[in-house]
Amino acid sequence: MRRRSLAPLAAALLALAGPAARGQDLAGAAVGGGTRRTIVVGADRDYPPYEFLDRDGKPAGYNVELTRAIAEVMGLEVEFRFGDWSEIRAGLDAGQIDVLEGISFSDERARTLDFSPPHAIVHHAIFARRGTPPVASLEELRGKEVIVFGGGIMDETLTQRGLGATLVRTGTPADALRLLASGEHDYVVVALLPGIWITRELQLTNVVPVARSIAAERYGFAVRKGNGELLARLDEGLAILKKTGRYEELHQRWLGVLEPQGLSLGTVARWATLVLVPLLAILAGTVLWSRSLQRQVAVRTASLAREVAERRRAVEELRQHQRQLVQADKLAALGVLVSGVAHEINNPVGLVLLNMPLLKETFGDLLSELDARGGNEGLTIAGLPYARLREELPGLLDEMHAGGRRIKRIVDDLKDFARREDDPALEPVDLNDVARAAARLVGNAIRNATDRFELALGDGLPRVRVNSQRIEQVVVNLLLNACEALPDASHGIRLSTRHDAERGEVLLEVRDQGVGIPPEHLARIEEPFFTTKRTAGGTGLGLSVSAGIVKDHGGTLRFTSEVGAGTVATIALPALAPADAEERRSAG
């Protein structure tokens, strides 16, 4: 049931909502005698390529053509009213404008406005003059002279982060970029596509983007609070354009040409050459070294043939070297393949993570609309009773979103194992929160494995300085291993935390009543590719990656086990002093 495609469900919901929406007149659209009034559409005069006045003073841009297309399919009459952004916003609040065709969503704005589902995702960027030290996030702008488009979403965002008093505000994005190009101030925070368009149009060759995606905002239509009928007509028109392919045509014409493109085949070939040539050289050297080593071992073995003990030692040494060569070959192959495989997996997973919150919000709105209209008794959608669908759909979407995040983390861990990169960002974390999150992630596996799961978290634990997601991955791995070790559901698992004040460590312990680990295996469980579950699909990477993660955080991962009695896995991380933890929280 849960694997069934959601596309028929979405179509069914839209089909149910569509006739009712089409059967209602637009708010104020008909006045005596059935005469339609013109819908006044507000737009920013200088926000290319979304909306702007061209050199002839005529409305142009992606938003304008999208609005015209919706008006055409819905039989609406529209009048565009262009001006400064502040004037257009004020006109909507005063009732002089019916709808804004392009505005970013925020919780603050949603208090006075009703928003449509987004018709675009606007990525915001940081621009600077050539030679200016680059920054990678909004937090790095503290203490810098920053220019923003006054009243825009980035103005609101930076103000909420406490930077409002130091911002330099301009009337348009073009004014902000011209001011930066003239040598004034340090950075401009503005939407990426308008920034690229304006710098090209005005030939501001000394201004470049230094951080291309520091925020992604939902961007669509908005009306005054309560004008739901007008918004419903616009939503219906947008849905029609998407079904007919006209929406995609407009999006590609105006936005696709400016959005970042994939790597060319030539670039891929050059990078492949740079990577493959050194790897082939290493492989050739490894082969030569292997052959030389084998000859040396053969000579030595022949010279010690009379002494059985020495011969056995030499043979064992040879076997050990051969195992190391096989291991090195695996790692070399893994290093070549991981980047390409990870890229292919991350692209669709990225789409899932980007679109799932929007899909959840959209379905939530549709279901709420159906609830508000009533008459759902006996209603069946996609083969399911409406009441059951209403109860289970949010959980289905949450599971899909959590699954996408987990896939991305697994791919990132595999890339980290094959090629060492910069250390992840560390911050003070409560290890109890990590334990709870990991238990939630593997809750289904725990329920299937045991009826006796215990979560015992210590009180008043000092914080530890870690990357919470990576430590969470370690705890998830330990819990899954504990589940697999249990012979039946009557045997238990205990996840606990405590503070070892004497050693200055915070401990997280996973204890199972499973089959235990033999001593000869216990000494090797952290070796890459060592596994006793090869036939069940085990790769032997889990504990090796986990041990590396804990070591990178300055901690240790220890195992004790008794065959037939169970295993205890203990993560020990350095505790932060209270003053240090408080200072780091304040700085963050």
Residue where a domain terminates, one of 361, 396, 418: 418
Higher pLDDT, 126 or 527: 126
| Joined tokens for residue 276 | 């493959």
Please answer whether residues 574 and 446 qualify as being in contact, where contact means their C-beta atoms are separated by less than 8 angstroms. no
Closest to 498 in 3D by CA, of 461, 453, 468, 553? 461
- DSSP labels, 518-568: -HHHHTTTTSTT--S-GGGT--S-HHHHHHHHHHHTT-EEEEEEETTTEEE
The answer to whether residues 337 and 309 belong to one domain is: yes
Angle between helices 308-373 and 386-418 (to 10 degrees): 150
Cα separation of 401 and 412, whole Å? 17
The answer to whether residues 498 and 487 belong to one domain is: yes
pLDDT digits (tens, 9 = 90+) for 150-161: 999 999 999 999
Residue where a domain terminates, one of 418, 446, 481: 418
The answer to whether residues 390 and 402 belong to one domain is: yes
The answer to whether residues 483 and 510 belong to one domain is: yes
> Which residues, other chains included, contact 473 with Cβ-Cβ below 8 Å and sequence gap of 6+?
409, 413, 545, 546, 549
Please answer whether residues 170 and 179 qualify as being in contact, where contact means their C-beta atoms are separated by less than 8 angstroms. yes
Cα separation of 543 and 541, whole Å? 6
Residue 130 CA: distances (Å) to CA of 142, 188, 474, 531: 20, 13, 42, 52
The answer to whether residues 247 and 301 belong to one domain is: no
Residue 40, pLDDT score? 96
Q: Is 225 helix (H, G, I), strand (E, B) or coil?
A: coil
Whether 1 is in a domain gets the answer no
Q: Is 210 helix (H, G, I), strand (E, B) or coil?
A: strand
Residues β-bridged to residue 493 = 453, 512
What's the half-sphere exposure (Cβ side, CA atoms, 13 Å) at 520? 1
Residue 568, pLDDT score? 94
Angle between helices 431-441 and 468-485 (to 10 degrees): 50
Residue 295, pLDDT score? 85
Cα separation of 493 and 496, whole Å? 10
| Joined tokens for residue 361 | 């919000």
Residue 49 CA: distances (Å) to CA of 23, 99, 254, 260, 531: 35, 19, 6, 15, 55
Residue 299, pLDDT score? 82
Cα separation of 454 and 491, whole Å? 11
Q: Specify the number of domains making up the chain.
A: 4
**Amino acid residing at 354:** L
Please answer whether residues 471 and 434 qualify as being in contact, where contact means their C-beta atoms are separated by less than 8 angstroms. yes
The answer to whether residues 278 and 412 belong to one domain is: yes
Mean per-residue pLDDT, 336-345: 70
With vertex at residue 356, the alpha carbon angle to CA 353 and CA 358, rounded to the nearest 5 degrees, is 120
Whether 2 is in a domain gets the answer no
pLDDT digits (tens, 9 = 90+) for 51-85: 999 999 999 999 999 999 999 999 999 999 999 99
Cα separation of 190 and 210, whole Å? 12
Predicted confidence band at 5 (pLDDT cuts at 50, 70, 90)? very low
The answer to whether residues 372 and 227 belong to one domain is: no
Residue where a domain terminates, one of 362, 389, 418: 418
Output phi, psi for 407, to 5 deg: -60, -45
Cα separation of 173 and 48, whole Å? 9
What range does the domain containing 247 cover? 7-119+220-256
pLDDT digits (tens, 9 = 90+) for 377-420: 777 777 778 778 778 878 888 888 888 887 876 676 556 545 54
Predicted confidence band at 496 (pLDDT cuts at 50, 70, 90)? very high
| 264 has pLDDT over 80 | no
pTM (global) more than 0.85: no
Backbone φ/ψ region at 375: left (φ over 0), alpha (ψ -120 to 50), beta: left
Predicted confidence band at 323 (pLDDT cuts at 50, 70, 90)? low
The answer to whether residues 69 and 168 belong to one domain is: no
Q: Is 494 helix (H, G, I), strand (E, B) or coil?
A: strand
For residue 554, the domain's CATH number is: 3.30.565.10
Cα separation of 511 and 570, whole Å? 9
Least confident stretch, 184-193, 321-330, 337-346: 321-330
For the chain, the residue count is: 588
Q: Is 36 helix (H, G, I), strand (E, B) or coil?
A: strand
Closest to 62 in 3D by CA, of 78, 50, 52? 50
Residue 305, pLDDT score? 76
| Joined tokens for residue 501 | 């004040």
The answer to whether residues 371 and 444 belong to one domain is: no
Whether 182 is in a domain gets the answer yes
The answer to whether residues 211 and 228 belong to one domain is: no
The answer to whether residues 440 and 572 belong to one domain is: yes
> Which residues, other chains included, contact 119 with Cβ-Cβ below 8 Å and sequence gap of 6+?
66, 219, 220, 221, 238, 247
Residue 290, pLDDT score? 83
Whether 47 is in a domain gets the answer yes
The answer to whether residues 558 and 577 belong to one domain is: yes
Please answer whether residues 495 and 509 qualify as being in contact, where contact means their C-beta atoms are separated by less than 8 angstroms. yes
For residue 59, the domain's CATH number is: 3.40.190.10
Please answer whether residues 180 and 127 qualify as being in contact, where contact means their C-beta atoms are separated by less than 8 angstroms. yes
Please answer whether residues 98 and 38 qualify as being in contact, where contact means their C-beta atoms are separated by less than 8 angstroms. no
Whether 560 is in a domain gets the answer yes
Share of the chain above pLDDT 90, in %: 50
| 9 has pLDDT over 70 | no
Please answer whether residues 451 and 489 qualify as being in contact, where contact means their C-beta atoms are separated by less than 8 angstroms. yes
Please answer whether residues 500 and 558 qualify as being in contact, where contact means their C-beta atoms are separated by less than 8 angstroms. no
